[in-house]
Amino acid sequence: MRHLLDTKHLSRAEAIRILDVAEDMADTQQREVKKLPALRGKTVVNLFFEDSTRTRISFEAAAKRLSADVINFSAKGSSVSKGESLQDTAQTLQAMAADAVVIRHAASGAPRTLATSGWISAGVVNAGDGTHEHPTQALLDAYTMRKRRHGAGSRGRDLEGMRVTIVGDILHSRVARSNVWLLQTLGAEVTLVAPPTLVPQDVSDWPVQVGFDLDAAVAEAPDAIMMLRIQLERMNAAFFPSEREYARTWGLTTDRLAALPDDTIVMHPGPMNRGLEIASEAADSARSTVLEQVTNGVSVRMAVLYLLLSGSNENED
């Protein structure tokens, strides 16, 4: 694997390979000494143009547990705000001989621009770009679903037959996009539920069902329901009238939680707005995988960095 820019172009075999390596990584994390020597001498740069403490520390933990050297580069001023350009930043990292760059950027497509510009030779991992994709989030979600479904027999398996409902701001969600493509690749069926204002205008290419009625979607008894974070500034842009109406119509309330089958898992990429898109009872219930997702995130990111940097990929693209 040269880069990980999106899940749209990830094959089933590549995805399952990442998830299986993540299983191996997770096994090592049960040991007393969690650190592996695999990436000793490699330098991983966390290049974050947007604040995201959760994602950054997850990547940092992953890289450190593989013995890579980690540089955190918080580039607050992007070229959008007239700071240093992406090109200059990238060339600086190249001059410092970074082996992998984990990039978070507010601009959709910035990781692809970085990877294809010729500015750097490092592998690029997309840690969330604008409203485009967040591939490691989708991979950790898939890992979490697979683990809940197949347990210790997860290796080599996909998500064939799983029915997953994603609820919330699809329009602005990189998590939703990455999940849509990856879940499709792994054989799951995906339903999106959102206010019509928060669904892209034309999703005819997407391998999903789209609905506007969360109660109807709950009644379908999905295997997993994934609640997306709602950003309150959307309210001011007339996407929905009020917090109260949103929570009542599209939130995972206690009533809806009760209406779900006992084995439906409840997912959220975090950070949560408790009481808005998800009630505390749902977030803290035994069906919730919110903290498992965080744990699995480290294993999945270890797998991605390992596959990117371990040198076993010379004959791939």
Partner 1 sequence: MTENLLFRGARIEGGDVADIRIEDGRIAAVGTGLDADGARVVDVAGLIALPGLVDLHTHLREPGYEASETVLTGSRAAAAGGYTAVFAMPNTSPVADTAGVVEQELALGEAAGLVTVQPIGAVTIGQKGERLAELGAMASSRARVRVFSDDGFCVWDPLIMRRALEYVKAFDGVVAQHAQDPRLTEGAQMNEGRVSAELGLTGWPAVAEESIIARDVLLAEHVGSRLHVCHLSTAGAVDIIRWAKRRGVDVTAEVTPHHLLLSEELVRGYDARYKVNPPLRRDEDVQAVREGLADGTIDIVATDHAPHPAEAKTCEWPAAANGMVGLESALRVVHQAMVRTGMLDWADVARVMSRTPAEIGRLDGHGRPIAAGEPAELVFYDADATGVFTTSDLRGRGINSPYLGRELPGSVRYTVHDGRLTVDDGRVTA
Which residues sit at the interface with partner 1, rule CB under 8 A? 8, 78-80, 85-87, 105-110, 112-113, 116-117, 129-133, 174, 177, 200-206
Nearer to partner 1, 71 or 106 (CB): 106
Q: How far is the CB of 108 from partner 1 (least distance, A)?
A: 4
Q: How far is the CB of 96 from partner 1 (least distance, A)?
A: 21
Nearer to partner 1, 58 or 126 (CB): 126
**Residue 242 buriedness (CB in 10 A; 0-12 / 13-18 / 19+):** exposed
Q: How far is the CB of 231 from partner 1 (least distance, A)?
A: 15
- List the structure tokens of 117: 């510009």
Nearer to partner 1, 80 or 216 (CB): 80
- Do residues 187 and 160 lie in contact, with contact meaning Cβ atoms separated by under 8 Å? yes
Q: How far is the CB of 13 from partner 1 (least distance, A)?
A: 22
Q: How far is the CB of 192 from partner 1 (least distance, A)?
A: 12
Interatomic CA distance for residues 188 and 296, integer angstroms: 19
Nearer to partner 1, 231 or 312 (CB): 231
Q: How far is the CB of 105 from partner 1 (least distance, A)?
A: 7
Match 């309150």 to its residue by tokens: 232
Nearer to partner 1, 77 or 261 (CB): 77
Distance in Å from the first CA to the final CA of the chain: 8
165 DSSP β-pair partners? 191, 225
Nearer to partner 1, 135 or 251 (CB): 135
Interatomic CA distance for residues 27 and 46, integer angstroms: 25
- Measure Cα distances from 21 to 62, 140, 161, 188, 245 in Å: 13, 12, 23, 21, 43
Which of the 8 DSSP states describes residue 6? -
46 DSSP β-pair partners? 72, 102
| DSSP SS3 for 170 | coil
